[in-house]
């Protein structure tokens, strides 16, 4: 499903994430839980690990590959709780983490998803 969701990303954006590994794990590891100060491993649906495009430099020596983690059990739990379409949830989490790869903050993405701050 993650591969299928990646296939729906526009090619001009997908070209910029071709070197980003997408991994599906059951849960975040203990180090991530501690780092993110999670109350429960179910609190995190996805995570981008790496250096976003805004901070990358050709002179930097990279020791690890950038990666997007999709956490299967929390995503399935969220799906059961909300009744939303599972593919939509997976794609939404994937797009959100791709946004972090591009250097967007959570606040930036909320504004984008919210219609650029609809004004009254």
pTM metric for this prediction: 0.81
User: Tens-digit pLDDT profile for the chain (120 aa)?
Assistant: 999 999 998 888 888 888 899 999 999 999 999 999 999 999 999 999 987 766 665 566 566 789 999 999 999 999 999 999 999 999 999 989 998 888 888 887 777 666 544 443
What is the reported pLDDT for 118? 44
CB 50 within 8 A of CB 34: no
The answer to whether the beta carbons of residues 78 and 101 sit under 8 Å apart is: no
Predicted pLDDT of residue 119: 42
d(CA 14, CA 7): 8
Confidence (pLDDT) at 115? 52
- Give the model's pLDDT for residue 80: 98
């Amino acid at each position: 499903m993650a591969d299928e969701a990646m296939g729906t990303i526009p090619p001009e954006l997908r070209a910029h994430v071709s070197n980003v590994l997408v991994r599906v794990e059951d849960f975040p590891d203990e180090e991530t839980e501690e780092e993110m100060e999670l109350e429960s491993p179910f609190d995190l649906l996805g995570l981008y690990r790496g250096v976003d495009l805004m901070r990358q430099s050709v002179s930097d020596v990279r020791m690890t590959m950038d990666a997007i983690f999709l956490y299967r059990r929390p995503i399935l739990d969220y799906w059961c709780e909300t009744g939303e379409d599972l593919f939509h949830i997976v794609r939404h989490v994937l797009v959100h983490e791709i946004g972090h790869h591009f250097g967007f903050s959570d606040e930036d993405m909320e504004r984008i998803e919210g219609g650029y701050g609809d004004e009254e």
